[in-house]
Structure 1
Amino acid sequence: MQFKEIVGQQAVKQRLLNTVKENRVSHAQLFLGPEGSGSLALAVAYAQYLSCEDKQPYDSCGVCSSCRKYEKYVHPDLHFSYPFFASDKNDTALSFIEQWREALLANPYLSLDTWRGYLQADNKQANINIAECHQILKKLSLKPFESAYKMLILWLPEYLDKEGNTLLKIIEEPQPNTVFLLVAQNQDQILNTILSRTQLVKIPALPYNEVRSFLINEKGVPAQTAEEAAYLSNGNLSEALGMLHQETKSYHEAFLDWLRKCYGNKGLEMMKFVEAIAKAGREGQKNFIRYGISYIRECCLMMSGAANLVHLPAAEKETAQKMAAVMTLDMAEAISEVLEKAHYAVERNANPKILFLDVSLQIIKILHFKIIPKGNQYI
C-alpha cells in the first residue's frame, strides 16, 4: 500500500513523511480516525515507507523487495493484530491471517462488519484475547529479520480488555527499531494506560467532494449515484463503497413520499410503505434511515440560516427548502431522534414491519398532529 493509493488525507501523509525525513519516528503511535477515513490504509502505507529500500520524497518506491512483500502483506517484519471471534481460548490473530490478508487486499478501508463477513462469527463477541497479547510479546521480542524496522499494526485496540495491560511494558520499552501503530476509531474506549503511552495521529473523515470524486474517477460510478453515496456515507469511504452493491441506491423520493404520507396521515398508503420497506433487507433499511437522518439535518441547517453549509444536489436542495418551510426546529429534532432510534433497532434485527409502523405513527404525531415528544423542545 502506497500513499498515492489512499484517497485524500494530504496533510496527514505529509506529517508522516516528515517524521521519517526528520528522524522523529515515534515507537508507539495511535492513528485515530472514524471508520472509512483511511486510518488503517495510512498505517500500512507508513509502515511500507519506513521499510522501503529506496524511499522517494513523497512515497515508497513500490518496486523494491520490501515493497513487493508489503503489497501482499507477507513481509516477515510486518505483523498484524486485530479483533477476531475465537472458538478456542488459544486462538490468536495468526489463526485467521489468510482471511485477514484476503479482506485487506480486497478493501484497505476495512470495517468490522466487513471483517465479520470473512469469519464464521455466529453470535460471538469480537475481542483481542490474552493469548493474542502473549503472541505479540513473543513476536516482538525478536530482532527485525529483513527490514530496518519490525512493525506491528494493531487494528481496533478498543477490543483489548484489561488483558491489554500485558502489553504496557513492551509498548513503553520495546526492542530497538520496533514500531507500534495502533489504529483506532473510539478514543474513549481505549485503555488509558495504553493511550498515555502513544503519540496521537488524528485522521479526519473524508470530505464529501473527495469521496464523490473517487467514486466517479476511480470506480466509474455515475455522478448521481456517486453524489448520493458520498452524501449518505458522511465521509466513510467503506460505507460508500458498500452502498454501490445495494440494489436500491436512490432514497430521496422514497423518503419524501414517506414524509408526505405521514404529514397527510394516510393510513392505508402508510401500510403499503411498511410492507415495501420490510422487504428491502437490513442494509437497505439502514441506508434509507441514514439518508433520512442526513436529509433532516440539512433541513435544520436551512432553518438555522446556514444554507451555505448544505451539501445536497440541486433537486434535493430545492425539496429540502420546501420541507424546511413546513417544519420547525423542534419537529426536525424530534424526527431525527426517532430515526436514530430506528437505525439502532434495525442493526439489532428488530422486526421491520413492527418497527417501521411504529416509526411512521410517531412521525405522524409530529408532522400531522404537531405533538412534540417531551424533551425535544429547544430552550
Structure 2
Amino acid sequence: MQFKEIVGQQAVKQRLVNSVKENRVSHAQLFLGPEGSGALALAVAYAQYLSCENRQPEDSCGECASCRKYQKLMHPDLHFSYPFFAKHKDDNALTFIEEWREAFSANPYLSLDIWRGYLDAENKQANINIAECHQIIKKLSFKPFESAYKILILWLPEYLDKTGNALLKIIEEPQPNTLFLLVAQNQDQILNTILSRTQLIKIPAMTYDDIREYLVDHGQPKALAEQAAYLSEGNITEAIQLTQQEENNHHGLFVQWLRTCITNNKEGDLFKLVDQLAKLGRENQKNFLRYGISFLRECCLINSDAADLVHLPPAELELAKRMAKAIPLLPAEAITDELEKAHYHIERNANPKILFLDVSLQIIKILFFKTFRAKADSIYS
C-alpha cells in the first residue's frame, strides 16, 4: 500500500516520510487513532516506504520487487500480529494469515467487527495469546532477509493480556533494523509496560470533506456520500458500510417525524410514521437515530451562535436553521437525550414500534409541556 492510496491524513503522511528522510526512525512506534482513521493502512504504507528499493520523495515507488511483495502482503520481512479467535492453544497469527490478507486487501480500513466476519468466531473472545507472543519473539530473533528492515505490524495491542509482557525485552532491545509498529485505538487499554516503550504517533479522525470526496470518487451519489460522511463522524469504515446498506433518506424522514411531533394535530400521520420507522430494520433504525442526534446537535450549535462550526450539506443546513427556530436549545438537548436512550434500547433488541411511539410522545411532551424526563424507563422490551 502506498501513501497516495490512503484517504486524507496529509500531515501524518508527511511526518512519517520526514522521519525516514531525516533518519529518525524509532524502533517501536505506536500509531494511535480512532476506528476508521486509517491507522493500519498508514502503518502498512510506512513499512512499504521503509523497504522500498527505489524510494520516491513522498512515497514508495510501487514498482520494485519489494513494493510488489508488499502489495500482496507477502514480503518475507513483513510480519503481522492481530487478535484472533483461537480454537487450539497453539494457534497463532500465522494460522489465519490467508484470511488476514484477504480482509486487508478487501478493505484496508479494517475494523474488528469486519475481521470477525472472516473468522469462525463462534462465541470466543478475541485476543493475542501467549503462543502468538512466543511466535513474535521467534520471528524477530533473526536478521532481515531481503530488506533493510524487518517489520512487525501489531494491530490492536489492546487485546494483549498480561502475557504481552513476554514481548517487553524484544521491544526494548530488538535485533538491529527490527521495527515494531503497533496500531491501536484505545491508549488506556494498552499495557503500560508496552506503552512506555513506544514512540507515540497520534492519528486524528478523518475529515468530513475527505470521506465525502472518497465516496464520490468511488461511485456513490453525492447526496448519499454527504449523508454517510456526516453520519460517520470521521470513521471511514462506518461511512463505507453506510453506503453499502439499503439506500434511505434519513434526513427527510427525520424532519418529517419532527414536524409531525411539532404540529401535534394529525395523530394518524404519527402512527403511520411510527409504523414506517418500526419496519426499517435494526441497523437502519440505529443509523436513523444517529442522524437525528447529529442533526439536533447542529441545531444546538446554530442556537448557540456557532453556525460556523456546523457541518451539513447546504440544503440540510437551511432546514436546520429553520428547525432551530422551532426547537430552542434546552428542548433540543432534551430530545437528543431521548434519541440517545432510544439508540441504547434498539441495540438491546427493544420492540421498535413501542419504542418509537414512546419517543414520539416524549418529544411532544418536551415541545408542548416542557416536560423533560430525567431517566428512561425500561418499557421497550
TM-score band w.r.t. shorter chain: over 0.9
Question: SS state of the match for residue 62, structure 1?
Answer: coil
| CA 13–120 in structure 1, closer or farther in 2 if over 3 Å, else same | same
- What residue is the counterpart of 1:111 in the other structure? 111
- Return 5+ residue gaps in structure 1 as ranges: none
8 Å contact 1:48–1:60 — kept in the other structure?
yes
Counterpart for residue 257 of structure 2? 258
Matched AA of 1:148 = A
**Residue in structure 1 matched with residue 199 of structure 2 by the alignment:** 199
The 5-angstrom pairing of residues 13-92 of structure 1 reads: 13-92=13-92
| SS of structure 1 residue aligned to 2:363 | helix
Residue 332 (structure 2) aligns with: 332
| TM superposition shift of 1:40 | 0.7
Match of 1:97 in 2: 97
Amino acid at match of 1:247: E
Answering whether residue 346 of structure 2 is matched by residue 341 of structure 1, we say no
Give the residue type in structure 2 aligned to 1:129: N
- In structure 2, relative to structure 1, the CA distance for the partners of 1:95 and 1:361 (3 Å cut) is farther
Structure 1 equivalent of residue 226 of structure 2: 227
What's the secondary structure of 2:83's corresponding residue? Answer: coil
Identity, in percent, stands at: 72
Q: TM-score, normalised by structure 2?
A: 0.92
Q: C-alpha separation between the residues in 2 aligned to 1:107 and 1:249? A: 23
**What SS is found at the alignment partner of 2:145?**
coil
The structural deviation recorded for 1:264 is 4.2
1:249-288 equivalences in 2 (<5 Å): 249-265=248-264, 268-288=268-288
Residues 37 and 205, structure 1, Cα contact 8 Å, conserved in 2: yes
What is the CA distance between 1:365 and its match in structure 2?
3.1
Equivalent residue number for residue 127 of structure 1: 127
How many residue pairs align between the two structures?
A: 375
In structure 2, the CA distance between the partners of 1:25 and 1:252, relative to structure 1 (3 Å rule), is same
1:188 is aligned to 2:211: no
- Work out whether 1:211 is the aligned partner of 2:211: yes
Q: CA RMSD in A?
A: 2.0
Structure-2 change in CA distance of 1:333 and 1:191 (3 Å): farther
Q: Do the aligned partners of 1:3 and 1:45 also contact (CA within 8 Å) in 2?
A: yes
CA displacement 1:295-342 (0-9 Å, x = unmatched): 011011101101111111222112211221122322222222232333
Distance 1:270 1:163, change over 3 A: farther
Give 1:97 deviation, angstroms.
1.2
Contact 1:248 1:284 in 2 (8 A): no
Cα-to-partner distance string for 1:265-310 (whole Å, 9 max, x where unaligned): 5655444333333332232122111111110110111011011111
SS in 2 for 1:29: strand
Residue 78 of structure 1 and its aligned partner are, at CA, apart by 0.9
Aligned counterparts of 1:155 and 1:350: Cα–Cα separation in 2: 34
1:163 maps to a residue whose letter is T
2:294 alignment partner, SS class: helix
8 Å contact kept, 1:330–1:372: no
On the 8 A contact 1:168/1:193 being kept in 2, the answer is yes
Secondary structure of the residue that 2:7 maps to in structure 1?
coil
Q: Partners in 2 of 1:358 and 1:2 — Cα distance?
A: 50
Q: Give the Cα–Cα distance (whole angstroms) in 2 for the partners of residues 132 and 21 of structure 1.
A: 33
Q: Give 1:343 shift.
A: 2.8
Secondary structure of the corresponding residue to residue 244 of structure 1: helix
Cα deviation digits, residues 328-359 of structure 1 (max 9, x gap)? 32222222223233333333444433443443
Distance 1:336 1:301 in 2: 13
Q: Separation in 2 of the partners of 1:194 and 1:348? A: 35
* 1:82-127 deviation digits (Å, cap 9, x = unpaired): 1122233332222211111111001111111211221222333222
Distance 1:195 1:55 in 2: 30
1:2 counterpart letter in structure 2: Q
Structure 2 unaligned segments of length 5 or more: list them.
Answer: 377-381
Paired residue secondary structure (2:135): helix
- Aligned to 1:152, the other structure's residue is in SS state strand
Q: Report the Cα distance in structure 2 between the residues aligned to 1:335 and 1:255, rounded to whole angstroms.
A: 13
Q: Which residue of structure 2 lines up, in the alignment, with residue 373 of structure 1?
A: 373
In structure 2, do the counterparts of structure 1 residues 273 and 147 end up closer, same or farther at CA, with 3 Å as the change threshold?
same
Q: 1:278 to 1:80 in 2, by over 3 A?
A: farther
Give the structure 2 partner of residue 292 of structure 1: 292
Structure 1 residues 148 and 347, CA gap change in structure 2 (3 angstroms): farther
